């Protein structure tokens, strides 16, 4: 693949990943309005699973760049996760803030492991 094709793919797939993040976050958040960032949690857990799955497939470097870095990198969102956690803390909602960190890390690692396990068996 030429460099131009790869970077064009990165731009396009990055845009698709960002739109998918927005749509999933919005859909989940519309159903769960309790003030906990369930939308971001759903996005990051599904992204961890997908990235683990792609890692288990052992893709070539161009496919890994396009699928992992471009799509999943723009789909998942560390910054929003931390901003929402900070906001929970500022609102003195300490247990939801701590829970957001603990649940995201524990379930994210589990999702990545499950994805990698599944991907490596294909």
Q: Answer for the pair 2, 49: CB distance below 8 angstroms, yes or no.
A: no
CA–CA–CA angle 70, 8, 44 (5° rounding): 15
- Number of domains into which the chain is organized: 1
User: Angle of helix 38-57 relative to helix 94-120, nearest 10 degrees?
Assistant: 20
Under the banding of pLDDT at 50, 70 and 90, the label for residue 19 is: very high
32: domain range? 3-121
Per-residue pLDDT at 1: 74
Position 34 scores a pLDDT of: 82
pLDDT exceeds cutoff 90 at 115: yes
Structure tokens at 24: 């999933």
Give pLDDT tens digits for 20-60. Answer: 999 999 999 999 888 899 999 999 999 999 999 999 999 99
Confirm or deny that 35 is annotated as ligand binding: no
φ, ψ at 93 (rounded to 5°): -100, 70
Q: How many other β-carbons are positioned within 10 Å of the β-carbon of residue 110?
A: 14
Is 73 annotated in a binding site? The answer is yes
For residue range 72-105, list pLDDT tens digits in order.
999 999 999 999 999 999 999 999 999 999 999 9
């Amino acid at each position: 693949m030429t460099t131009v094709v790869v970077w064009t793919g990165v731009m396009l797939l990055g845009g698709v990943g960002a739109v998918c993040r927005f749509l999933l976050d919005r859909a989940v958040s519309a159903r769960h309005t309790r003030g906990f960032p369930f939308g971001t949690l759903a996005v990051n857990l599904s992204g961890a699973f997908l990235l683990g799955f792609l890692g288990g497939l052992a893709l070539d470097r161009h496919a890994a760049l396009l699928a992992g870095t471009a799509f999943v990198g723009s789909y998942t969102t560390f910054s929003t996760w931390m901003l929402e956690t900070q906001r929970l803390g500022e609102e003195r909602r300490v247990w939801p803030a701590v829970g957001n960190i603990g649940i995201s890390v524990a379930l994210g690692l589990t999702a990545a492991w499950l994805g990698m396990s599944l991907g490596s068996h294909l």
